[in-house]
């Protein structure tokens, strides 16, 4: 596939859009909760994830009594678009507004479309969550920053899909999780994983089998910008000491995963090759140490 230059891949430090990111995260959780309510559970919570499109991100087809619903974040025109199999459409502008106002608008739009759905109005996978209808703190929306976010993740989506194609064992799609706010693809060895006695229902389901998982996260905390990650669960002995490529990649003992900063990838002579090198070398380290049957699992 064509290699994009550092000029074409924009920078997006956390400080440039942290308020917008926090607001968008909550908006996506609202739509994600609607998808959760209207889909049956699929192994490893794959029913809850979004997919990238040519215009943004969207839900799966969501079935309700009387029809089918699909919801799309359009990051070109910056609208939330809801369409039904009856031909009805609702479009809400993405603009600076509180999470509480967005929540009310979304739920009213669903009512207008004849879609009855109840959701648990609390964010997940976050410290100190505030119920959607009470959140008046998050209210930012920087269109330019969101456009950069979408372009970065769209580029990563293409490379992750190429990487996924090399594996013929069980693998997740490349999909976006609105809880953890990351793009991910997961490979499976085919073996069950040891039970995690202290795991919550989410992680117990997600890590019921051995995995090597990789993806892209916008950053936060000590990570000041987007970062690609790769981890193994359960982590085999010696994984953290492995030498992986390219050279800027490192193991984060707090996150317990290998990282390479997006800026290091986008500034490489070939961003595509740098990312593929990271994905392949970290997967190989996990699969070899855990003694996966690689001949049976790979092309």
So what's the pLDDT on residue 5? 47
If you average pLDDT over residues 95-102, what whole number do you get? 98
Q: What is the pLDDT of residues 100-130, one digit of tens each?
A: 999 999 999 999 999 999 999 999 999 999 9
295, pLDDT greater than 90: yes
3-state SS assignment for residue 200: coil
Q: Which residues contact 279 (CB under 8 A, 6 or more apart)?
A: 159, 160, 163, 214, 228, 230
Max CA separation in the chain (angstroms): 56
Confidence of residue 189 (pLDDT cuts 50, 70, 90): very high
DSSP-assigned letters across all residues of 28-87: HHHHHHHHHHTS---GGGGGG-BEE-SSEEE---EEETTEEEEEEEETTTTEEEEEETTS
What does the domain layout of the chain look like in residue ranges? 14-134, 143-297
Q: What is d(CA 32, CA 175) in angstroms, rounded to the nearest whole number? A: 13
2, pLDDT greater than 50: no
So what's the pLDDT on residue 6? 47
Q: List C-alpha distances in Å: 91 to 81, 248, 256.
A: 4, 43, 41
230, pLDDT greater than 80: yes
If you average pLDDT over residues 207-232, what whole number do you get? 96
Q: What is the pLDDT of residues 6-57, one digit of tens each?
A: 448 999 999 999 999 999 999 999 999 999 999 999 999 999 999 999 999 9
Q: What is the pLDDT of residues 133-188, one digit of tens each?
A: 999 999 999 999 999 999 999 999 999 999 999 999 999 999 999 999 999 999 99
């Amino acid at each position: 596939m064509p290699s994009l230059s550092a000029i074409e891949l924009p920078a997006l430090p956390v400080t440039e859009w942290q308020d917008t990111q926090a607001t968008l995260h909550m908006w996506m959780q609202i739509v994600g909760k609607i998808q959760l309510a209207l889909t049956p559970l699929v192994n490893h919570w794959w029913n809850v994830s979004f997919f990238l499109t040519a215009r943004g991100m969207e839900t799966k087809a969501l079935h309700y009594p009387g029809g089918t619903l699909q919801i799309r974040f359009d990051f070109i025109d910056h609208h939330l678009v809801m369409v039904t199999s009856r031909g009805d459409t609702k479009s809400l502008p993405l603009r600076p507004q509180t999470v509480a106002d967005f929540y009310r608008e979304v739920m009213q739009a669903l009512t207008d479309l004849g879609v009855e759905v109840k959701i648990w109005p609390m964010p997940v996978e976050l410290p100190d969550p505030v119920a959607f209808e009470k959140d008046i703190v998050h209210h930012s929306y920087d269109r330019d920053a969101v456009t950069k976010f979408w372009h970065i993740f769209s580029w990563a989506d293409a490379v992750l899909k190429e990487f996924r194609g090399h594996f013929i064992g069980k693998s997740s799609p490349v999909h976006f999780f609105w809880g953890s706010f990351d793009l991910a693809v997961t490979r499976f060895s085919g073996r069950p994983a040891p039970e995690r006695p202290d795991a919550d229902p989410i992680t117990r389901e997600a890590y019921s089998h051995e995995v090597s998982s990789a993806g892209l996260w916008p950053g936060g905390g000590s990570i000041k910008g987007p970062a690609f990650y790769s981890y193994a669960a359960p982590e085999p002995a010696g994984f953290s000491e492995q030498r992986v490529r390219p050279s800027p990649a490192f193991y984060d003992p707090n996150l317990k995963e290998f990282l390479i900063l997006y800026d290091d990838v986008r500034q490489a002579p070939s961003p595509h090759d740098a990312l593929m090198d990271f994905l392949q070398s970290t997967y190989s380290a996990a699969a070899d140490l855990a003694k996966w049957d690689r001949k049976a699992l790979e092309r």
